[in-house]
Amino acid sequence: MRHKLFGLGGLVVALAMLSACGASRGNFDDVSDGSSGGAPTLPGVPYTGGDMGEGAPPEGGSGSPAPGQGGPAPAPGQLTAGDWDDNLNFSFFQKYLTEAPQGMPAHPSTDRVVITVRDEEGRPVPNARVTVGDAAGKRLEAPTAADGRLIFLPTHDGAPGNGAFSVTVTPPPGQGGAPFTTSAEGTAWNLTLPGAHGVLPTELDVAFVVDATGSMGDEIDYLKAEIQGIVDSVRNTYPGVSARFALVMYRDDGDAYVVLPFDFTSDVSLFRKRLSEQSAYGGGDYPEAMERGLGAIHQLSWRTGNTARLTFLVADAPTHTQHYQAFLREANRARLSGIKVYPVAASGVADEAEYLMRIAAQLTLGRYIFLTNDSGIGGDHAEPHIPCYQVQLLKHLLVRAIGSELTGRRLPASGTEILRTVGNPAQDGSCTREDGSVTYL
């Protein structure tokens, strides 16, 4: 396996400091550890046995030391990152796709349509079900996000040519009213749903999908130690929201397991116990089974009510070449399920992984998150193929990512949180490039 060094480990370093963004730890530590979560309990997810507590590789083997044996851990709260929205900078994204590394799969998206559903007072309506059809039948059915938006890609979704579309919007679960049907054209469909009410999510489901191969020992240790911070931050900042967390560990074919999933729980002690039983080992080459890890989220028991649903895909290597399309299919399934994907790219990420991760974020209306060198921790982090961003502590970025899904609007970084800028962004978030084109944070 290509050495990925410490880059992704910093992700969980940053998670450690998420608690600083919320209130005190509360009394979660007083909760019993609960029942064991050592074995996968979800049907239909590949698993090939093995000891879930394995640590160091066999004598003479390769891989990272067992957790806790790799020297002292760096202090938390140092890792830095930036993020980027390819839907907000769609023209730039299209140019980026044309410059993809050789052999990458096509992503037909030039005809993208942004669908926005609002109530009669102009408020976005989350979790309204949108169905798009043409003369040949249904092309898309998916729920809106907290900001009322949904992406429709006619060519990608199998629509021939520039045919006429009809769109039906059904009120969110628990709300009365009848479905509303209208014709639609253009690239922005702004729809008003009569009788609906734009109510922000009252439930939150967050899944962490984590590469658990050999170079990830430090990263998993940090996550074990610091996950309480992100839980506390969310619960204290949004006390009226019912929050649950799930975990999916993945490795590669031939390892002790390929995917190890743990379903959603609101029991913090159980979540911590499940995580504490994990360790990093295996892999063998640079690519890993990232498509299987992302695909496993569809076996989790996501809530379908007034819920914000998001996945942090924590990865530092792409999937294998023959599985590129499979990864994109899993990302598309997330779009159809109303699950936003926020990839978190670390130092091992090369051009191929960036390409796949950015498409996953674009399909699901997520943002591409990437670690930077500003912390001075670990190996070199490749510069992303974007012209403008703000460097900040990853802890702040992750808190705002979740907060954005609960408030229905992007929460920008404040002046005190911005450590460095690239591309000279103006106060309004715009970045004017040398050729006169403009991108946005």
pLDDT of residue 396: 83
pLDDT of residue 61: 32
Q: Residue 118 and residue 124: Cα distance in Å, rounded?
A: 4
Q: Residue 205 and residue 243: Cα distance in Å, rounded?
A: 6
Which residues, other chains included, contact 53 with Cβ-Cβ below 8 Å and sequence gap of 6+? 38, 277, 279
Domain 9-90+201-440 bears CATH identifier 3.40.50.410:
yes
pLDDT of residue 226: 58
Asked if residue 32 has pLDDT above 50, the reply is no
Q: Residue 250 and residue 257: Cα distance in Å, rounded?
A: 7
Which residues, other chains included, contact 141 with Cβ-Cβ below 8 Å and sequence gap of 6+? 129, 130, 131, 132, 336
pLDDT of residue 379: 64
Instruction: Report pLDDT digits (tens) over 142-182.
Output: 999 999 999 999 999 999 766 789 999 999 999 988 999 99
Instruction: Report pLDDT digits (tens) over 208-255.
Output: 998 888 766 655 665 565 566 677 778 888 989 999 999 999 999 888
pLDDT of residue 415: 85
Q: Residue 313 and residue 336: Cα distance in Å, rounded?
A: 17
Q: Residue 240 and residue 230: Cα distance in Å, rounded?
A: 16
Lowest mean pLDDT among 2-6, 26-30, 288-292: 26-30
Q: Residue 43 and residue 138: Cα distance in Å, rounded?
A: 29
For the chain, what is the mean pLDDT? 82
- CATH of the domain spanning 108-192: 2.60.40.10
Residues 334 and 311 sit within 8 Å (Cβ to Cβ): yes
Asked if residue 197 has pLDDT above 70, the reply is yes
Asked if residue 312 has pLDDT above 90, the reply is yes
Which residues, other chains included, contact 176 with Cβ-Cβ below 8 Å and sequence gap of 6+? 195
Residue 215's H or E segment, with its range, is: none
Tally of residues, the chain: 441
Q: Which residue has the higher pLDDT, 71 or 423?
A: 423
Instruction: Report pLDDT digits (tens) over 317-374.
Output: 899 999 999 999 999 999 999 999 999 887 778 899 999 999 999 999 999 999 888 8
Q: Residue 237 and residue 226: Cα distance in Å, rounded?
A: 17
Instruction: Report pLDDT digits (tens) over 325-339.
Output: 999 999 999 999 999
Q: Which residue has the tokens 């743990």?
A: 262
The full set of domain ranges for the chain reads 9-90+201-440, 108-192
Asked if residue 16 has pLDDT above 60, the reply is no
